[in-house]
Homo-oligomer: A and B are copies of this chain.
Amino acid sequence: MTTYRPPHQDMAFVLHDLAGLDDIALLPGFEDSTADLVQSVLEEAGRIAEEVLAPLNQSGDQQGTRRENGVVKTPDGWDRAYRTLVEGNWIGLSCPTEFGGMGLPGAVNAAVNEMWQAANMAFSLCPMLTQGAINAIQSCGDAAQKALYLPRLISGEWAGTMNLTEAAAGSDLGAIRTKAVRRDDHYLLTGQKIFITYGDHDLTENIIHLVLARTPDAPPGVKGISLFVVPKILTDAEGKPVRPNDVHCVSLEHKLGIHASPTAVMSFGDRDGAVGFLIGAENRGLEYMFVMMNHARLNVGLQGLAIAERAYQQARAYALERIQGKPIGCPERTSIADHPDVRRMLMGMKAEVEAMRALSYVAAAALDRAHAHPDPAGRDAAKRYAELLNPIVKGWCTERGVEIASLGLQVHGGMGFIEATGAAQHLRDARITTIYEGTTAIQANDLVNRKILKDGGATLRHCLAEVSDLARTLSGQNDLLLKDIGDALGKATAEALQATAWLLETAAEDPRQTAAAGVPLLLLLGTLLGGHQMARAAQLAAGRSTDPACDQAFYQAKLRTAWHYAETILPRGSWLLAAITRGSRTVMSLSRAQL
């Protein structure tokens, strides 16, 4: 069985020193989020992650889910773990207090989610999907819907799902065919949805499906999609069960990873139509989806970070323990962590994990400010920053998460390929994160079109100016490490600015080139903005690394890890810049037949 230890010290450092949690706690609505409360919440969540969720990760993978007599069974121990979350009111951690939530900032929830996903991603998808449903109903539902669903979803009594994908409508939601026909106060839905995470399970009495469907007279494409709430069990207004709805899990997928998370094919309206209730107005479903996209995508980005942290911890433990060979400079046989190439892999994993954590929590904090900042200009600036970061965090953290999980396996050598070791599971589990909740290409489209081109690059340039300022400051320092970091950050920022200029110029001339450049640009910006956070961390750490009141080993390690990031990871910018500005010309140069 593999273990997980919450990285409390780094999480606290990022939350307080980089994400500005102490300022957020002063915003209206977050006044109760005292430092003491936050600390005790994180400690208790960490204890649950370590002691309740992590021990079920490998057994859940081995056992998987199964469908027996039409009932989807989760693995042994899932039910007890779910009860633990319900009893602690954990699902509603950052939900409104008026519906029973704890009202804590999303940044704190991000840290809690990181721990849960790292401990057991297949399990933690269930509360994550419920949080998505809560978000949608809270943002777009009417008062009666909020009163019925929110308290029960927030308490965890009921679970939630998102039903978007159909066999012929994946990335292209405009192709959705599920039908919704109005009958009095409700609609009757018919259609089939695929890839529905926790579409059916035995953890809750009821499951609240949020379903995209099309009314008979809807305009074609994305402008004719409506959002419905379709409960598994129909209830009265007090939530008392009335009768089962016409919604069924048809089958479960056999997948590469997250074996313990049921991925269902869901059939709506096999008999007389599934009863659904419209959320908001007809034909505005996609717009509502975008409202909650920021949270949902941030959460998947956090999964990338989480699985990378887990893979790093496991690789580190193995590398420190496994004795093999005498590396240069070691007179005795020693652990492989002393071999320079193993250390290179571990350092790379650690540096990127810390950068991903910093950028993710900063993005979560920006969302908190976007919601709670008392000043409209402050809200707006935070909103633009949060929305710029959103596809970057999702795309970059998940792409790097897959790579880091693969490196974790490599550190184990032959043992990594043996399933019992557990390293392979992290790679298998991580591999879905670049696909669901929008593939990396979908994130890149969002970044290029909605977040950069739409405002002529203003938000991005504003953000890069801040990075550039820090780079200049650090380059002027006497500390050689800070100077190296500043120089590397300055070079990478210049590359990002060149890429931005190219994008703005090329978009009008040849939009196929800018579409081809999207993913490399997303990765370039993720690498850079992660490096920006590491540079901020290094600046703070340099000031504290000689302060006897601080944990000097931690801050010294932070400074040196940021140095490693700057010297080995930031230089990817040169490659990616070439791939963007020169390589995009070459992408479409073959005919289909020549592929």
- Measured CB to CB, the residues of A under 8 A from B are 165, 168, 170-172, 174-175, 194-195, 253-257, 316, 320, 323-325, 327-329, 333, 337-344, 346-347, 350, 402, 406, 409-410, 413-414, 416-420, 424, 427-428, 431-432, 434-436, 439-441, 444-445, 484, 511-513, 515-516, 518-519, 553, 556-557, 560-561, 563-564, 567-568, 571-575, 577-579, 582-583, 585-595
Check A444 against B254 for contact (C-beta < 8 Å): no
Check A337 against B416 for contact (C-beta < 8 Å): no
Q: Separation in Å of the A342 CB from the closest CB of chain B? A: 7
State in angstroms the CA–CA spacing of A572 and B563 once bound together.
20
Q: Which of A338, A516, A557 has the most CB of B within 10 A?
A: A516
Q: Nearest 10 CB-CB pairs, A to B?
A: A568-B583, A571-B578, A341-B441, A574-B574, A340-B516, A172-B325, A557-B594, A340-B515, A256-B424, A564-B586
Check B568 against A578 for contact (C-beta < 8 Å): yes
Q: Which of A441, A444, A586 has the most CB of B within 10 A?
A: A586
Check A329 against B170 for contact (C-beta < 8 Å): no
Residues of B within 8 A of A320 (CB): 592, 595
Residues of B within 8 A of A329 (CB): 511-512
Check B586 against A578 for contact (C-beta < 8 Å): no
Check B553 against A594 for contact (C-beta < 8 Å): yes
Q: Which of A325, A436, A513 has the most CB of B within 10 A?
A: A325
Beyond A254-B419, A325-B171, A590-B561, is A195–B414 a contact (Cβ under 8 Å)? yes
State in angstroms the CA–CA spacing of A427 and B435 once bound together.
15
State in angstroms the CA–CA spacing of A170 and B424 once bound together.
19
Residues of B within 8 A of A343 (CB): 516, 587-588
Residues of B within 8 A of A515 (CB): 327-328, 339-341
State in angstroms the CA–CA spacing of A441 and B563 once bound together.
23
Check A432 against B410 for contact (C-beta < 8 Å): no
Residues of B within 8 A of A583 (CB): 564, 567-568, 571
Closest chain B residue to A221, Cβ basis = B326
7 other A-B residue contacts (CB within 8 Å) besides A340-B515, A571-B582, A571-B583: A174-B325, A255-B419, A337-B595, A427-B431, A567-B586, A568-B582, A571-B575
Check B595 against A256 for contact (C-beta < 8 Å): no
Partner of A431, one of B342, B417, B444: B417
Q: Separation in Å of the A78 CB from the closest CB of chain B? A: 21
Residues of B within 8 A of A436 (CB): 414
Beyond A341-B516, A413-B435, is A587–B428 a contact (Cβ under 8 Å)? no
Residues of B within 8 A of A170 (CB): 324, 413-414
Closest chain B residue to A410, Cβ basis = B434
Q: Separation in Å of the A116 CB from the closest CB of chain B? A: 21
State in angstroms the CA–CA spacing of A253 and B417 once bound together.
9
Check B340 against A588 for contact (C-beta < 8 Å): yes
Closest chain B residue to A420, Cβ basis = B254
Check B432 against A417 for contact (C-beta < 8 Å): yes
Check B588 against A579 for contact (C-beta < 8 Å): no
Query: Could you list 23 A-B pairs, sorted by A, with CB under 8 Å?
Result: A168-B323, A170-B324, A172-B324, A255-B417, A256-B409, A256-B418, A256-B428, A327-B512, A340-B518, A342-B441, A344-B519, A346-B595, A347-B586, A409-B431, A414-B436, A417-B431, A557-B590, A557-B594, A560-B586, A567-B586, A568-B586, A571-B574, A571-B575
State in angstroms the CA–CA spacing of A14 and B557 once bound together.
49
Check B511 against A328 for contact (C-beta < 8 Å): yes
Q: Separation in Å of the A427 CB from the closest CB of chain B? A: 7
State in angstroms the CA–CA spacing of A342 and B441 once bound together.
8
Residues of B within 8 A of A592 (CB): 320, 337-338
Check A253 against B340 for contact (C-beta < 8 Å): no
Residues of B within 8 A of A337 (CB): 592, 595
Residues of B within 8 A of A586 (CB): 347, 560, 563-564, 567-568
